[in-house]
Amino acid sequence: MEKIFKIFGKEYENINQAAILLGGFALLSQILGLLRDRLLAHFVGPSASLDIYYAAFRIPDLIFISIASLASITVIIPFLQEKMSSRSGDASMTEEARKFLNDIFSVFFSVIILVSIFVFFLMPYLSFFIAPGFTPENQARVIELSRIMLLSPILLGLSNLFGAITQMNRRFFIYALSPIFYNLGIIAGILFLYSIFGLRGLAFGVSLGALMHFLIQAFASFKFGFFPKFSISINFQDIRKAVFISLPRTLGLSANNIALIFIVAMASFLKSGSISVFNLSFNLQSVPLNIVGISYAVAAFPTLVKSFTGGKNNEFKDHLKRAGRAIVFWSIPITFIFIVARAQIVRVILGSPSFSWENTRLVAASLAIFSVSILAQGMVALLSRAHYAKGNTRRPLVVNLVSSTVMIFLSYILLSLFESWPLFRHFIESILKVSDIPGTAVLMLPLAYALGTILNFIIHLYFAKKEFMDGESFISKTFFQTLGASFFIGVMAYLSLGVFSNIFGTTTFWGIFLQGFFSVILGILAGIMVLRLLGNEELEELFRTFRTKFWRARILPPSQEGL
């Protein structure tokens, strides 16, 4: 185990190395997340019951994001580093650092418990805003499940606090295991508790996952000598300073979560299963975002901070360019692949007897719409961190508030257009090949989310070019090269799907899997050939990275507000 720990203690050579390692950890967690969704699709299926389950998440998630992110690792660790022993190589806990952690623990634990108790009693009123289109019976079930899930933000928040200790002691492997255990708890709830307790069993599984997430961090922290105690005399000056630093980022995260609450509320008026379709497709499109966009953004952040604080503006620009181009390089091909092979992706991951072909086509159509914003989501994660690196927390907050507001208004406007303008409805259904499926109005919600996110990206890009690049365009060349290659990826994959459907068939799991797999592989090979002919720098750098020992890179796992 110590040899494993030492792997993560060495400096990385470039952003690609750290991003690939981060992507590897994210991939493990995402695989379990996909297994979780497949089990939900199999045992519950897109239905009123699964709608209730997803709706019940909204308030606990908002509590976690609004409170836990105020004491996030990215804020706590710099405070701890200032208060740790100054002896070289010594990460032992000083009394000052221990006092700071106890103060944070006391304030955070007290606040989140009080808020959770308050929300517990207020839930009958909140449920109307979460799912106003539900029947009274279903709203009552949302209340019950949400109350059970209120344990989740408490446990995840405490785990986030203890995670600062594991990272300070460079136990990144332990920290990265937590999301995996979180998903394992939810999977246990689906497999073992759902058959006994029904939907309550799913909620118990969420709380179990949060408990497992917390325990692994707590045990590791205990090993390093941190046993939290309630402080009687709290140094509120440090608490206020930490909260003030975290507040803009917290408000930005909360704005996005509130936008999702409004979207879910609108979906509650639509056909039963609409919330399920939205969430299942949202989770699928989040896989490449977490593996690519978030990984590169997190890998670049420490370097951006170091460059800015050192006054090395050219180095700052160079690292931002490289990370931005890498996100473009990966995201555009993924978008084309998801659009072309959407039905195969959804059927392989979620397909089961309880998940019909109509469900598959509707989720696939929603996934295709979400996929249009994959590049935008990844770039927003990077460019917002570029502002954070320069100490500008106000700009990302304002942009997030604007885009979240646009998402809410677009959701309402697009749903109204879809219902009242047959030509618009026919165009959307025809282009996505879902004209013969009921419940297509739900597709307006991912469209609103995607458009709001693209607007967020455009505004961020405008300010990034103006403030960081002196008006210079830093992703245009890579964008057009990758877009051209992705066109060939899409065409080759689309043509190959027809060929391989005759070879493997489309009536079995393996037939659909092999059809999609070989079609995508041929598409990727075609794209690589085009990029080589164009002399794409990102492809050459990727090849160089794979020839290095990138697994020895030192990494800083991202904060986990998105669980």
Across 82-86, 229-233, 288-292, least confident range: 82-86
Report the residue count for the chain. Answer: 563
d(CA 370, CA 272): 21
Kindly state the tokens that stand for 87.
């002896």
Closest CA to 338 of 301, 375, 312, 302: 375
* 555 assigned to some structural domain: no
CA-CA-CA-CA torsion for 383, 386, 387, 388, nearest 10 degrees?
120
pTM of this structure: 0.88
pLDDT over 80 at 99, yes or no: yes
User: Reduced to 3 states, what is the DSSP secondary structure of residue 352?
Assistant: strand
pLDDT over 70 at 2, yes or no: no
DSSP 232: S
Say how many domains are in the chain: 1
d(CA 547, CA 532): 17
* 212 assigned to some structural domain: yes
Other beta carbons within 10 angstroms of residue 173's beta carbon come to 17
Return contacts of 391-396, CB within 8 angstroms, 24+ apart: 393/245, 393/247, 393/248, 393/249, 394/248, 395/463, 396/248, 396/249, 396/252, 396/460
392-411 pLDDT, tens digit per residue, is 878 898 999 999 999 999 99
* 59 assigned to some structural domain: yes
* pLDDT computed for residue 265 by the predictor: 96
346-392 pLDDT, tens digit per residue, is 999 998 888 888 999 999 999 999 999 999 999 999 999 888 888 78
* 442 assigned to some structural domain: no
In the chain, % of residues over pLDDT 90: 54
* 129 assigned to some structural domain: yes
Q: Which domain holds residue 208?
A: 48-228+237-268
* 501 assigned to some structural domain: no
* pLDDT computed for residue 113 by the predictor: 93
* 112 assigned to some structural domain: yes
**Residue 26 contacts residue 294 (beta carbons within 8 Å):** yes
* pLDDT computed for residue 10 by the predictor: 40
When pLDDT is averaged across residues 96-107 and rounded to a whole number, the result is 84
* 457 assigned to some structural domain: no
